[in-house]
Amino acid sequence: MLDDSNVLQQRDPSGALAVAAAEHEQARFSVGVENPAHDGRQITRVIVAGMGGSALAALLVQSWLKTELRVPFEVLRSYDLPEYVDYNTLVIASSYSGNTEETVSCLVQARAKNAQVAIITSGGKLQSLAADDDIAYVALPASLQPRMAVIYNLRALVALFAHFNLVGFDHFSAIAETAGWLEEQTLQWTSDVSTDKNYAKQLALMAVGKTPVFYAGSVMAPVAYKWKISWNENAKNVAFWNEYPEFNHNEFIGWTSHPVEKPFAVFDLVSNHEHPQILRRFEVSDRLLSGMRPKATTIQLQGHSVIAQMLWGSILADFVSIYVAILNGVDPTPVPIIEKLKLELRDDNAA
């Protein structure tokens, strides 16, 4: 089925596979910070407020740059800021649509607390607020699903971090340096590559009809979360994720009981940048759980750097989950029930 071009066209009418095939181009996104002037205040902590795919880029940065940042950095996925937000806190409101109500709420609170604020968006209320009130912001290219614009968001966030003197611009350049290599890798997963040579299609066939569980170490944990997001929104399937070593302190024992036949597909996202003991935990855990859960399929993340592996894994997640959507007979692009939820919440607020 996955090698039948007619089936692919019928079941992917919005062109999700083409979007995934072009994601490497986002690594070269030329970021312009609008309303760039700021008062030079000292930043002592950072919060990125965002949901779903908009939060994911922040989680990637939080892991990637944890040894570089000299200030606390929190990713907030809710309506309310913590009480400690003050004049020296940088609050970045990140919403691809610009209308995410949780993120808008956080921005309003940040301004009331006189915090330093910035915005990442492709439009909506946030872009209007940025333009009207001279708030520093990055305008993202529009017309994508947020989960498919993670690398755009990542470039924007790192550019803002550099703009506010939290990191050097070399990290911004490091993302762009992966673009050519990511293109080469992506060409191996596109729809015209047959299943016998296409790793993404092979992984999809392993997982279809099952509930996937994705595991990673602490460095690549956001990538496991990305696989879950892609599975939920592209394949329209429930999926779960966790990270080592936390897995061994609770979920590990959960696999040992009934039922013996478990309808899951387990994937270990393994990186050579993880702590050696975490790599050992992958091996020992799978051996000790032999016969109690499906044997884990190891996905060895490719790339010479942490950020290269993160982006390689993120793009692969989209390809595999889109192929699962095609096998499921669902359109991978729209998320109508999410849009219905937003509309009903908006109506409730207006009542």
Q: Which of 24, 226, 228, 233 is catalytic?
A: 233
**CATH code, 5-9+179-328:** 3.40.50.10490
> What is the pLDDT, as a whole number, of residue 133?
92
The top-level CATH class assigned to 24-176 is alpha beta
Tell me the pLDDT tens digit for each residue of 38-71.
Answer: 888 999 999 999 999 899 999 999 999 999 999 9
Mean pLDDT, residues 273-294? 96
Q: Which of 83, 184, 249, 261 is catalytic?
A: 249
pLDDT score of 290 more than 90: yes
Handedness of CA 14, 267, 174, 120 (dihedral sign): positive
pLDDT score of 262 more than 90: no
> What is the pLDDT, as a whole number, of residue 349?
63
> ∠ CA 209-214-220 to the nearest 5 degrees?
150
The pLDDT-based confidence of 350 (bands split at 50, 70, 90) is low
d(CA 209, CA 197): 22
Is residue 249 annotated as part of the catalytic site, yes or no?
Answer: yes
pTM: 0.95
Is residue 233 annotated as part of the catalytic site, yes or no?
Answer: yes
Average pLDDT of every residue of the chain: 95
Strands 89-95 and 116-121: parallel
pLDDT score of 339 more than 90: no
Q: Which of 113, 210, 262, 342 is catalytic?
A: 342
The contacts of residue 276 (CB under 8 Å, 6+ apart) are none
> What is the pLDDT, as a whole number, of residue 259?
76
pLDDT score of 342 more than 90: no
Q: Cβ(2)–Cβ(17) under 8 Å? A: no
- Label residue 196 exposed, middle or buried (CB < 10 Å: 0-12, 13-18, 19+): exposed
d(CA 62, CA 336): 31
Is residue 342 annotated as part of the catalytic site, yes or no?
Answer: yes
Rounded-to-5 percentages of helix, strand, coil across the chain: 50, 15, 35
State the span(s) of the chain assigned CATH 3.40.50.10490. 5-9+179-328, 24-176
The contacts of residue 188 (CB under 8 Å, 6+ apart) are 197, 198, 199
